[in-house]
Structure formats: structure tokens, C-alpha cells
Structure 1
């Protein structure tokens, strides 16, 4: 197999015309014959380039609304023939098959069609058949053939031809082939994922795909390599955010920033809200009269943990909030937008990353979470579950007050984003204690209360803010001990799913402690 292989003939058929003319001009400069189809041929001709239609080569016109044009032995023979195989060369001569040394294809915009919400028939028509077939043929024969599926590779192709007198190197063709197979795999994944949503039942086979967005310095720890891949979604979030300043995001930064933005997006944009995340768990969440007020109240939940944390805001970052944030070390701030004044303030903190998303994440959008385990994957629907006031069932003698009910709903929203076992104390629209990730629910209850005690001492308060608070538990209390601990910390109302065999005992303990308690009928485990 040769290292250098000449490019004498190229077939170009692209839906994205970006950079097409420049590539065509470079190929012609190296004496390459151009074959093309439809709109691609027209674009090249309009630029003054000589192009031969594929139909001239195959002897068959494009037919069936363009469904059949490149699916022909003259095309695929030209791609698959081994140039150093005597029998292959004889077959090419016998059947008038000329070699095709370069294929440039970007596929019908299936993913974009789905994203636009097109109807079923339109979506089906945007499934490319000939393109993937040519890509796979060319990629298989990368010993001799170049295959290009990404516009960003055009410059590299031109550089190869310029450096090697119209030829390309084997390692280069091999790299193009890998990218090509990944592209067709991603394309088929998009099609199969869409089809799975159109039919009933659990698919027998699933696949996932992604496009490299960033090679990371390392993973969770320095000895682990890592990268960030995007799935093509246009939903506002970490993958679509614009970074304005600061160091490159790390693996942990991306993971925590995603958690923060998903949480703050739950509250919409009507009232200012802030979420502070540390190690993927909230250490402070609050609403406020202003964005600065929301941040300050979130920060007061656990100032120690907030140091070096991730801050997510649900409204445009303003100068007053930026000034407050820069009073301590913060890794990342993410918000829908930022004023020029806020950006100027942040500019003095060179290591602080500022990301803007252009909007909030759609908290109700359907999706899936995928987690790898030994030998396979766990796939589940994204937790978009919500409860309304009408869904709540008061199970105690005492009824929650109007303010308690508001705080219970706030606490329940936060609970969905805290690692199990999760306990959240809330007062007046702000978390005042968070217990996360403990093996025992009562331990989470104690830890959250202890954090509130520590903050009361630090802030010089007469009593912890858990006095007069409400508590959310992401799952039912299996015993009354956790609820009793919350009452001892000063909680006056509880929200939990219910459903334990000991619900009656827990309800009785709540009544004895003078607590109000509501059941949601829904839990929010987050492992």
C-alpha cells in the first residue's frame, strides 16, 4: 500500500456549500477532474470551474427526486477498486470505470430537520442514502482514496496536495477515514434515535454519538485523560455557551457548570435566582428582589463551600452582582447574558470564567441520561418530573401556611438537583442548609442542620436560619428519626414523596412535633 497516492479525480456532493469554491479551485489547480451533482455542480460552475455531472459518468440521469444518482457501479467501482490489484484494474478497464480518488460529502441535514420540528414525511426525505454509501466505500479504500465529511478538513486537504505535488499521505487518508466512519455512525445514530421516538416500546439497539468540542487537560484527576463531546443539541446550556474570559474549562468545571445551570433554569427568568454548586451539589440556592440579592442569600447558606464554586444566574449578570461575586474566588459564572459593565468588572479576574448562553435551559425538555457500567449502559428518561400545588397531599393535622407552601415548593425544586440522600432546609426562598450524598437520610438531615449552625456562628446570628424553615427530602423517610432531627433543627414543615411502610409512624411523629407535612407522590433520586 503506497504512502503517497495521487488525486486525479474528485466527486463533490455537499449540502453545506461553505468553502466549496475554494476547495474546487485548489483541486483544479492540481489538475484534478471534478465530478458533481445538483446544486453542488451549479455552485462550482457559477464560480467558473469545469465540472462533469455524475449522470454523464454513469449514463443514468438523476431520478426519483434525486434519491438515485450516485448509487451506481461506476461510482462505487471507482471508489472501491484497489489500484495495485491487477484483477481490479482489469475490471475497471472492461467496464469503463475511472478511479475516484477524493470524495467530498456532507450529508442531508437530517439533524437540523429534526431540530426544526419537521413532520414525519419531511424528516424521512432528509435521510441521506447515497452520501453515506459513498463515504463508507471511500473510507474502506483509504489506502488509495481520500474521504472528506467536514468543512474544517478542506484546508488540510489543500495543504496535503500542495505539500506533496497533488498527492496525499497514507496517515492523512487514514485519519480522514476514521472521521468519516464516525460521521456516518453519528448520522445513523440520529436517525435511529429519532425513529425510536416514533415507535412504541424499548429499542433493541441504541447508539450514542458526539463531536469533539474540546480536548481537556485531564479528567476528574490529573492521571485521567478526558475530552468534551457535544451531541448537536441547540438547547441552551454548557455545550452552547460562549466563554468570554478565563482559563480553559476543565472536566470538573464542565460537569459542575452543567449542574448549576440546569438547576437555576428550573426557576425560569421572571424572578432573580442564583445557584452555587460545589462538586456537582448545590451549596446555596436562592431567589431575591435583585440578582445581587439572590446571590447574597445563596452565598449565606454555606460560604465555606461556595469558595471556588460555580455560580449560575437566571438573568443577565449586572455590575452590582458582578462586584459582589468577585469578593471571593469563583471558578465559573454562567448566565443568559452579561452587561458590558459586568464584563469589565470580571476582566480584572483573569482566571474567572464567564459563560453566557443566550437563554435558559428548557427544564421540561425531554431527553435521556446515559451512564456507562461494566459491559453496558444504563439509559433512562431525564428527570423532568414536577409537582404543582394541586398534586400535594397534606397528611398532618397542621396545614402549611402560605409562606411555608411556597418554601416547600422551592425546596422540592432544589431537591431534584441534590445527590441522594438529599435533605434541603429552606427559609423565605433560600436554602439555609443542604445535606447530600449520605448513605443514611438522617445523616443528611444532621449534616444540613450542622452546616446551618456553623453559618450562624460565622454570620453572628442569634440562631441558625433553620429555625422556622421547611425541609424537603428527595425520597420518603423510612423512619421518624430524620423528621425528628429536622424538627429539632427548627423546621416547621416537611415535603417528601411518602410511600414508606412506616408512613403512619412518620405522620404521627410529625403531628407530635407540631409539624405540617405534605406528600408529593413523586421522588427525585439522583445518584
Structure 2
């Protein structure tokens, strides 16, 4: 006895080959409708119109669809045209709704309900997994179908809200990829989910990234993407930047970044802007580094790094210059409600600087100022970065005021603060901050400005002959 499969899809990838296998080797008759029927017959599948089974357009609304699917189909293959693709074609809500295939939506839902009798397929990746399935496999396919329907329903609702000018709902489409060993601490359960807009990356030595690894990688990649077109290295630990530098070579950049906080390299995450060569790999192997990420690894470098059984080697395939485009929203869930904000994509142009002091910065100082400003954007508020020659010499962060933050930065930098640049993530609030910077012989301060004590702060800078640049851009990070 021959079986029956109903097919109605938007994505034809791999479809004809799979249906040929079903027809020739597993005795399936193929039924379809609309554009899918036309496509299949053009490609020699000899598909029949579903109307041959006594269905007309109004049938779906008048008949108990579950019984019809159970009696007539052993398999249903359905996927829909993406909602975003439909919305791009029209600004009219009626035209949008009419384009949505609600008939096949009903068939898919009914098939998912009768999964004991009917295999339901929504993804091309499941094609060849459905040839020999048991009851548990059918149940998992049914779950995927209901999740697919739910996601599609939510996407439709979101678009209709936009059309109606009432975009008040926030819909998250997350697919669980796997359980993590634990969260921030061993007693916290955690899982990793796939979202709609993910960068392309891979762990080359097949090790599992932990919860903390993923957080560190995210910060490291955001930071290194600021310097995608030069040799740059960034070290991150506990989701905090610990050392960043540019160099004539990648090795030079790494050694300069390492000098900022040598202890942070141990069990730290290191990101590189360019291909890792053997020289860099050899240096990394001598340190207890936990994770390394780069756009590419030269063959001899990768072979050397893989020998380190404790190291996780990540390759980022997404171009670094595009990495921040994947950061669409930042979401924090609290018992008081859920916060949603746009990511910090602030940019700085040295032509827009406002020099507010009598002492004017040199071109070299301004270049270092831009570098320091880009780094402090990713440090934890209140944050201060001290830098010179495209190298951080101190990163002080997590302070409750910028007086203690600057004092801490001076202590970390020691003699390396002489003639260096100091960048803050928020406005300097008192002349005491400038006094602390002067003790470290800072040559230029770059800060947002806008404090009620700006005049006092500028006067203090003039007193010590320190150049000061105001950006008007605050970069708080919590």
C-alpha cells in the first residue's frame, strides 16, 4: 500500500532529491498545492493537487481537519515564507495578511496534533531523519512544528503591531541549543540559546564554551571590533577589559596589551583583530590562557595551539567590522520588570572634539585619545583608562565616583602615567579629579563634559597645563 505526503514549502532547497527518495524507495505519492505544486511538476515529481482528495478552499474551515490529515497523510512537509520577507513587499496591512498562508498554517497545526499517525516536517535539515522514525522521534518533530507555528504567530503579531502603530510587545525568538555545565557559579543552572541574529563563529578544537566564556568572548569581540583594520589585541577577564593595545605586528600588540595587567592573562580571554601566526601562538602557549579568538589562524599556529588541552580556540567568521551590527538590543530581566535598550554604538570623530583648555593637544595625543576613548566605552562604570602610544597602561573600573577611579588608575599606571592620556566614561565632577591626574603627570584628559562644575574642572586643567578635550558623549556601562 502506497503512502501519501503533502508538501507546501517556501524553501525548495534539497526538496526534489528528498521527494524522489520518498517516492521511489518508500512508496510515497506526493500531493501539493499552489506554487509548490507547480514547482514540483516542473521538476518531474508528478505531484497531484490536494483537491484530488476532495478538498476545496473552503474545506479547511468546514471540516474537522485533524481527522482528514490522519486518514489521508502519512507525512506533511510545510514551511512558510518568512514574515519579514512578506512585510518588505508591502506597506498595506490587508495585503500583508492576505499574503500569509493561513490554510497551510491550519494543516500544519492539525498534523502536529496527530503526530502518532502523521510525520510532520518543517526544516530541510530533518528530511532524511524522518525516513525511519519511532514514536519518540515523531513527538520531537511535533514539538518542533508547534514551536515553529508559535514563532510564526508571534512574528505576524509583531508586524501587525508595527502596521497599527502599536509596537508595544517585545517578542523574543530563542531556540535552546544546549545545557551549559553551570552559570556564573557551579550552583547556578544555565543554558545557551540561539537567537535570530547571531554572529558566525566556531570552536575549532570542539571544546564547550562555558557561561563565563561566552560573556568574555562577547566583550572581547566588541572591543577588538573597534580596531578591526589594524593589528590589535584585547585581554578580557570576568567580562572586564584588562589590557588593549595596537602594534606594528600582532605579536607587538599582544605583548603591549599583556603589560597592562599581566595577571589577567592567566585564565583570561584574548581577542585578536588579525590572523594569529606561529610567533603569537608560541607566546600564548607559554601562558595559562583560557580562550583565544581571532578571524583566522595560520596552519602552523593552529597546530601548535591545539596541543594545549586547556585552551579553547575560537574562530570568528563574521567580519569584525560588522560584528556590532549583530548587537541589536540589550535585555535585562528583573523582578521589577524587563529593561530593553539599544546597544551603545557611539562613535567619535576627532574633528568634532571640543578643546576647552589653554593647552592644546598634539595630533599624536589626539590619536591616543581616540584609542583610550574606545577602550573606556567597554569598561565598567565609573571607568578610567590611561593610555600612551596605543597601549593601555591602566584600566580602573567599577568605582562609585571618578575621583577614586582616577586615583586608582594612577596607582596602577605608576610611572607609566607620565605624558599619557586619561579617558573617563562620564563627566569629571570636580577639580580634585584633575589634581589626581596631575600627580600622575597626565598630559591630556578626554571626558564627556557637562558637569555643573565644568568651569572648576577646566580651571584646574589650565592650572596644571593639562590639555582637555570634551566629547559630549557619555559611555556608562553597568
Q: Does 1:380 align with 2:344?
A: no
- Superposed, 1:198-237 pairs within 5 Å as 203-233=167-197, 237=199
- Superposed, 1:266-305 pairs within 5 Å as 266-269=226-229, 271-305=230-264
Distance 2:111 2:344 in 1: 42
Shift of 1:278: 0.7
Distance 1:242 1:307 in 2: 22
Deviation track 1:350-380 (CA, whole Å, cap 9, x = no partner) reads 3322222232142663722222122642111
Check whether the contact 1:218–1:250 (CA below 8 A) recurs between aligned residues: yes
Check whether the contact 2:461–2:468 (CA below 8 A) recurs between aligned residues: yes
The size of the alignment, in residue pairs, is 472
Q: Tell me the C-alpha RMSD between the 2 structures.
A: 3.4
* Equivalent of 1:138 in 97, 108, 111: 111
Question: Residue 485 of structure 1 aligns with which residue?
Answer: 436
CA separation of 1:361 and 1:253: change in aligned 2, threshold 3 A:
farther
Distance 1:76 1:511 in 2: 83
- Unpaired runs of 5+ in structure 2? none
Question: Residue 65 of structure 1 aligns with which residue?
Answer: none
Deviation track 1:309-367 (CA, whole Å, cap 9, x = no partner) reads 11111112222222222220111211111211221221221332222223214266372
Check whether the contact 1:261–1:361 (CA below 8 A) recurs between aligned residues: no
Please give the TM-score of this superposition, normalised by the length of structure 1.
0.79
CA separation of 1:136 and 1:420: change in aligned 2, threshold 3 A:
farther
Question: Residue 151 of structure 1 aligns with which residue?
Answer: 124
Q: Does 1:73 align with 2:59?
A: yes
Distance 2:347 2:165 in 1: 24
Shift of 1:130: 4.0
Distance 2:182 2:310 in 1: 18
Question: Residue 251 of structure 1 aligns with which residue?
Answer: 211
Question: Residue 334 of structure 1 aligns with which residue?
Answer: 293
Distance 2:450 2:165 in 1: 28
Distance 1:521 1:250 in 2: 38
- Unpaired runs of 5+ in structure 1? 1-6, 61-70, 82-91, 161-167, 454-463
Check whether the contact 2:225–2:324 (CA below 8 A) recurs between aligned residues: no
Please give the TM-score of this superposition, normalised by the length of structure 2.
0.86
Question: Residue 349 of structure 1 aligns with which residue?
Answer: 308
- Superposed, 1:1-400 pairs within 5 Å as 9-18=4-13, 20=15, 21-22=17-18, 25-26=21-22, 33-37=29-33, 40-41=36-37, 51-57=47-53, 60=56, 72-74=58-60, 77=63, 79-81=65-67, 98-100=71-73, 102-110=75-83, 113=85, 128-140=101-113, 142=115, 145-160=118-133, 169=135, 172-190=137-155, 203-233=167-197, 237=199, 240-245=200-205, 247-269=207-229, 271-358=230-317, 359-362=319-322, 365=325, 367-374=328-335, 376-400=337-361
Q: Does 1:516 align with 2:476?
A: no
Deviation track 1:379-423 (CA, whole Å, cap 9, x = no partner) reads 111211112112211112211122211111111111111121111
Question: Residue 68 of structure 1 aligns with which residue?
Answer: none
Deviation track 1:269-316 (CA, whole Å, cap 9, x = no partner) reads 1x2111111111110111111111111111111011121111111112
Distance 2:439 2:55 in 1: 86
